[in-house]
Structure 1
């Protein structure tokens, strides 16, 4: 039984017994409770190491849906846990910390999108997967950074489209398709901080390194990259490439998997640009992703809380654009 005071902070911070091997206990509970742990590439390295599956959000949710697990623990951010629940309505979905949100998902509220749709009748909505269940429920088709171009290309050339919430991804898709989709003004606070100046500095000091940039980065940063794409695209590239040094413009958590997969190669994270008057943060990490800790994961499994649920009516609508995407991929 979860103590009442824990429910007000969104996670359980009860200390583990002295001497507890958290990794071993987490794996033991997974076996006992028939649970699977999903870890996004941007989570802490120790979280990725203890997980059953690591990857991007939608791929993880689909993988979990294919298992016979009773419990899914999503170590990522809140909208990812919602997606797991949408695709696995009969499974219990846990999130180690309910406060782990997403600046990109938060930039597009369902009420705001509904109003925007009303102001633009006749437009179809294409939504990036980094959105809440409520926004997905207002969407015609969901896309990932990996399949966005293909999905957008599936619409007639004269189709009126709204793309959201990531303006950088939307602008890139407009540029490679010749479309003029209306772009929602949203963005990821981590990827927004990467700048041309910082990429240039690293290139000057490492002239032989290949530059990899996530599609959530700004256009000028993408223009400097040798490879642009999703985290999965970047991972596949470094595994197959004969090059030994890479400059990486995305959340730094991905370097853990890159180093694990290619221990003989060097990966250089692009630091964010420090603007005048800022607090001086040089962090290229997502604070929300890092809210997932081993202790929170341990307690989430132990007490089977916090639980993430999605209103059944919202879930029924939200699954439709995901299914449409899968049919077009």
Structure 2
């Protein structure tokens, strides 16, 4: 089926199912283009709550679908590719986290939203890459456990007086962006600003002109006087940058900055998901309720 035919059929079924299609910035460009909303994972889940839809089709990885199910328990959440999992989210497990909590009973657990519902349920509060520093500083504790990303933990540690106890996880896509990659691109494009995601290695962030979340990168590109940018995150964001600020130029920092899991969803799988109402994401109610408490605590934190 041609792309135009796929899009037409998807739109027909979307109306029939009273569905809303959400796409993360890291998805394939054609998937972003057919989505009703494109954004980062938490913002999309919050948007789903606001939508008068019966069905949420989440074009992303498993933890994203879980977040939507946590916040919209009365809606059907579909993940077009059930095998699309986040390697970083899979690096932390409940049993290991419980052991770490026993070792540090006074340290509240801060879990990055890029984690499973089960991990969120074991956490005191969640955070995003945009608000991690503010969330940690809001806690009445001298030390905190931070899961699952050690790179984001290191970024937070450099901006707080609290002791950060990190979990030894990382995003493989961001972790394989190397300092040498950045230096080569800076030499090739000397007028370009380098903006990096805080999931990158600390020595990569040292070279950044600006550190920001995925959405934050788009906002920065809109506001910055610079005309060229080296993008230190997953390559899919460049499509969103071109759509938001088409008059500027963007270079991906590395050819390896591509997440295989985020590229698993294509238009055919979106169509099949709507046709067969699959694959449904279900979070057990006891887990969902505890995970939502952690998300709600995060949303209550005032950001300057």
Smaller-chain TM-score range? over 0.9
- Deviation, structure 1 residue 159: 2.7
- Deviation, structure 1 residue 20: 6.9
Structure with max Cα Rg: 1
2:32 pairs, out of 29, 35, 48, with: 48
Identify unmatched segments of 5+ residues in structure 1. Answer: 1-15, 272-281
Equivalent residue number for residue 155 of structure 1: 139
The answer to whether the 8 A contact 2:230-2:252 is kept is yes
Separation (CA, whole Å) in 2 of partners of 1:257 and 1:179? 35
Separation (CA, whole Å) in 2 of partners of 1:23 and 1:242? 37
Equivalent residue number for residue 268 of structure 2: 295
Alpha-carbon distance change, 23 to 320 in structure 1, aligned in 2, over 3 angstroms: same
Question: Could you tell me the TM-score, scaled by structure 2's length?
Answer: 0.97
Separation (CA, whole Å) in 2 of partners of 1:143 and 1:20? 39
Q: Does 1:213 align with 2:196?
A: yes
Q: Does 1:137 align with 2:121?
A: yes
Equivalent residue number for residue 108 of structure 1: 92
Q: Does 1:177 align with 2:160?
A: yes
Equivalent residue number for residue 318 of structure 1: 291
- Deviation, structure 1 residue 316: 1.1
- Deviation, structure 1 residue 141: 0.3
Q: Does 1:127 align with 2:114?
A: no
Alpha-carbon distance change, 27 to 212 in structure 1, aligned in 2, over 3 angstroms: same
Question: Could you tell me the TM-score, scaled by structure 1's length?
Answer: 0.89
Alpha-carbon distance change, 197 to 19 in structure 1, aligned in 2, over 3 angstroms: closer
Identify unmatched segments of 5+ residues in structure 2. Answer: none
Give SS of 1:127's match.
strand
Q: Deviations over 1:237-261 (max 9, x none)?
A: 1112221110011000000010111
Q: Deviations over 1:107-166 (max 9, x none)?
A: 11112111221222222101100000000000000000111111111123x533101111
Separation (CA, whole Å) in 2 of partners of 1:230 and 1:127? 16
- Deviation, structure 1 residue 283: 2.5
Equivalent residue number for residue 11 of structure 1: none
Give SS of 1:220's match.
helix
Q: Deviations over 1:29-76 (max 9, x none)?
A: 111110000000000000000000100001000100111100000000
Separation (CA, whole Å) in 2 of partners of 1:184 and 1:154? 20
The answer to whether the 8 A contact 2:142-2:163 is kept is no
Alpha-carbon distance change, 19 to 148 in structure 1, aligned in 2, over 3 angstroms: closer
Give SS of 2:216's match.
helix
Give SS of 2:146's match.
strand
Question: RMSD of the TM alignment (CA)?
Answer: 1.3
Q: Within 5 Å, which residues of 2 pair with 1:249-328?
A: 249-271=232-254, 282-328=255-301
Runs of 4+ that moved beyond 2 A: none
